[in-house]
Every structure is written in C-alpha cells, then in structure tokens.
Amino acid sequence: MNNRTKALAATFALTAAFGVGMALQAKFTDIPAKHWAEGAVTRMVAEGIVNGYPDGTFRGNNTVNRYEATSMFDRLISSKRFASLEGNAKIAAEVGSDLTALRAASSSNAATIAGLQADITALKAASGNNAANAEVTARIAALEQKVATLNNTDTTAINDRITALEGNFTELVETVSKVEPSNADLDARVKALEAASSSNNTAELSSRIDAQNTRIQKLEGQVNDLNSTVATLQRTINERPTPPSTTTPTTPTTPTSPTTPTDTTPPATTAASSTPALTISAGISTNLIPSSPFNAPLGLGIYAAVGLNLSDSFSIRLNADLSEAPSAGANLLLNLGGGLYTGVGAGLVFGSGLYAGGVLGFGFDIATNFGLFLELNPRFNFANSSFGVKTALGLRLGL
C-alpha cells in the first residue's frame, strides 16, 4: 500500500468515526442513538411539551413555525411543573450568565470547526505527497481525539445549560402571568379613587361658592338699605326750617333817683341747643361670648349706625352689623350725661330670627361733634332661646 492509498484510508476512517458518533438509535426512528439532543428530546416528550409525527419520526432538522412554537410554549406554561421564582433579578442574572457562556461555547466550537476544516483542507492538499503520509496520519489521530472530546464534554455541558434556561424561562412566564392581573386591578382601583375624589371636591367647592355668593348678595342688599336710610335722614334734616333768632328790643332808660342803682345786666336770650340733630357711627364689632347665636366664631365684623336726636336726652338709632351672622335693628337711647348713654332695642339676625337687647355705651369727644364710642350690646335670641353679648368700637360724627 503506497502513501496515497494510506492517506485515503485515513480520511475514510475519520469519516467513519463521525458517522459512528451520530448514528446511534433513539425513540424516534430518525434520531440517532447518543445524539447530543437525545436526552432533551426524551425529557420534553415525557413532559408532554413536544411530540413527533404519526410516522414515528421527529424531524429535528425541520424549521419550527409560529403555530408549533406557540403550541409548545402553551403546553410548557400549562404544565405548572416549575416552582415560583424567588426573584426576577436572580433569574435574569442567571439567564444572562448562561447566555454569555453559550455564546462563548458557540464561538469556541465555531473556531474549532473552522480549524478542523482548515486541517482537512491541508490534508487533502498533502494527500498526494507520499513523504507526508506519516504526518497526515498523526494529524488525523489528533483530529479524532478533538472530535471525541467535543462530543463527550462540551455538548453535554451545553445541553445541561439549555435545559436550565428552559426551566428559567418557564418560571419567568409564570411570574409575569401572576403579576399582570395584580397590576391591572391596582390601576383600576387607583382610577376609581381619583374619579371619586375629583367628583366630591368639585361638588363641595361649588356648594361653598354658592353659599358665599348668597351671603354677599344679602350683605350688599343690607348696605344699600342702610345707604338709603342715611340719605332719607339727610334729606329730612336739610328740609327742616331754620328757627328764627330771638332778640329783646331795647327800651329807653327812665331817669331814676341818684340813690337807685341802674340794672345794667343785659336781657336774657334763648341759646341754641348744642346737641347735633343727626349722629353717624361706624366701627368694628365682635362677640364677647363665642357661643353667641349672633356670630358663632369669635371674629370681627363691621358696625354702622345712624341716630336721630329727639332732644338733649333721647334719641333713636338704626344699626347694622355686617359679620358672619349679619343683623340689623333699632334702639331708643337715653343720655345719662358725662358721655354715658343706655337704651333698649330689637332687631333681626339673618338666618337666626328676632332678638331683643339693650345698649350701654360711653362716648368721648375729640373735637366738636366728633369723637369715639364704646358699646356693649346684650341680646336674647327668641328663635333658639340663647343669650349673647356683642361689643362695638368706632368713631362718631354729629351733623
């Protein structure tokens, strides 16, 4: 046997070695025994995830279409065989690590196969050289050893990693299917709460605005009534005739005896009253008893009054208190002298009903017909049989 014949025989022996490693029998008639995927196929068939064709073949080299892939994933998810995840982060890290290792193994196998192909090409080129047959035989033996190492070691590790990745994928699918309904329910509840909160706040705000508008309209009406009353009183005063001045005619002096003294005292005249006809008061008011029915909270209000002096001792007065519980009333006042005055009266608290009360006040003149006043106004409300005390402080102007 010459060198060329020996090289061809070595090439046939290498080809036979590949054939023996891939021609082993399995369950399906078309899967060789000890095929690198035989264990994975057997497990997936036993779990009901994949199956073969009616003719007893597996057809492992066929392309998997979307329908077949969907059916396999559905059976995998429906099997409920795998335990719940301890944490998505851990699984993701393991999957990433395994994918990295698979890529490295794939790159290593590709490089090894490329090297084998280069060696085979070199063998073919050198097969015509009888002197190189011994070297070719040694290189073939080395290649056979590499192929055996790849079949017995690397493929098994890759199969194990693929199996682990399949399990991790199934667990991830189960976890996502559990989390998605919870997220949908939570979103629905949040939207319902937001809608209810928005509706309640809008209704409450609208009600409060309407109530404030109603109170403002009432206060504006009271102010207009008070302005009308003041204008009426002013016209009444202006229309009153001015009283004529009283003078005593001069009488001639009758001569008397020198011993009789002459009375040189001027005749008495009637002095005009110094009391102004109209008094206007304005200031602030508050409650001394917070539980008063006239203004429940202890807050400030605007107080205004117009009085008409009937004489030096008596006067009548109209007053209005613009606060959270607005009121209007009338008083009959008695001048006690020394700046003190008292009186009685009645009125209406808007929203609470009629009241009766009294007045005790003190006035201090800063200038002619201008000064300060301080009042206490005890009141009794007939609607709810309650008692309260208000106080007012402000300026007083006489006209």
Q: Are 376 and 274 in contact (CB under 8 A)?
A: no
Does residue 379 carry a pLDDT above 70? Answer: yes
pLDDT digits (tens, 9 = 90+) for 121-169: 777 776 655 555 677 778 888 888 887 776 665 566 677 888 888 888 8
pLDDT of residue 143: 87
Cα–Cα distance, 37 to 30 (Å, whole number): 12
SS3 313: coil
Percent of the chain with pLDDT over 90: 19
Per-residue pLDDT band at 7 (split at 50, 70, 90): very low
Cα–Cα distance, 246 to 270 (Å, whole number): 7
Between helices 155-239 and 88-126, what is the axis angle to 10°? Answer: 140
Residues 36 and 170 in one domain: yes
The whole-number average pLDDT for the span 23-38 is 74
Residue 153 lies in a domain: yes
pLDDT digits (tens, 9 = 90+) for 218-236: 888 888 888 888 888 888 8
Cα–Cα distance, 312 to 314 (Å, whole number): 6
The whole-number average pLDDT for the span 162-184 is 75
pLDDT of residue 267: 47
pLDDT of residue 309: 92
Supply the CATH number for residue 370's domain.
2.40.160.20
Give the residue, 172 or 7, on which the prediction is more confident: 172
Residue 30 lies in a domain: yes
pLDDT of residue 304: 93
Residues 52 and 180 in one domain: yes
Residue 168 lies in a domain: yes
pLDDT of residue 298: 57
The whole-number average pLDDT for the span 187-196 is 75
* Domain extent for 57: 3-188
Contacts of 157 (CB under 8 A, 6+ apart): 105
Give the residue, 317 or 74, on which the prediction is more confident: 317
> Which of 153, 188, 223 marks a domain boundary?
188
Q: Could you tell me which of 283, 267, 312 has the C-alpha nearest to residue 391?
A: 283
Least confident of 227-241, 292-306, 345-359: 292-306
Token pair 């009426």: residue: 232
Residue 358 lies in a domain: yes
Residues 304 and 162 in one domain: no
Does residue 85 carry a pLDDT above 50? Answer: no
Helix (H) or strand (E) holding 348: strand 340-349
Work out the mean pLDDT of the chain and round it to a whole number: 75
Residue 264 lies in a domain: no
The whole-number average pLDDT for the span 308-335 is 91
Q: Are 227 and 221 in contact (CB under 8 A)?
A: no
pLDDT of residue 342: 96
Cα–Cα distance, 60 to 45 (Å, whole number): 13
Q: Are 171 and 84 in contact (CB under 8 A)?
A: yes
Per-residue pLDDT band at 272 (split at 50, 70, 90): very low
C-alpha angle 173-176-177 in degrees, rounded to nearest 5: 85
Between helices 155-239 and 38-46, what is the axis angle to 10°? Answer: 50
Least confident of 24-38, 83-97, 127-141, 314-328: 83-97
Q: Evaluate the CA torsion angle 203, 206, 210, 212 in order and state its sign.
A: positive
> Which of 152, 168, 188 marks a domain boundary?
188
Residue 193 lies in a domain: no
SS3 280: strand
Percent of the chain with pLDDT over 70: 69
The 10 Å Cβ neighbour count of residue 286 is 17
Give the residue, 197 or 392, on which the prediction is more confident: 392
Q: How many domains does the chain have?
A: 2
Calculated CA dihedral for residues 163, 169, 171, 172, nearest 10 degrees: 160
Which structure tokens are listed for 85? 């995840």
Contacts of 128 (CB under 8 A, 6+ apart): 4
pLDDT of residue 3: 45
| Long-range interactions of 95-98: CB distance < 8 A, separation 24+ | 95/165, 95/168, 95/169, 95/172, 98/161, 98/164, 98/165, 98/168
> Which of 188, 204, 237 marks a domain boundary?
188
Cα–Cα distance, 352 to 295 (Å, whole number): 10
Residue 263 lies in a domain: no
The whole-number average pLDDT for the span 294-303 is 67
pLDDT digits (tens, 9 = 90+) for 98-123: 777 777 766 777 777 788 878 877 77
Which structure tokens are listed for 313? 């001792």
pLDDT of residue 25: 35
Residue 285 lies in a domain: yes
Give the residue, 335 or 171, on which the prediction is more confident: 335
Which structure tokens are listed for 208? 């409060």
Per-residue pLDDT band at 26 (split at 50, 70, 90): very low
Does residue 349 carry a pLDDT above 50? Answer: yes
Residues 287 and 174 in one domain: no
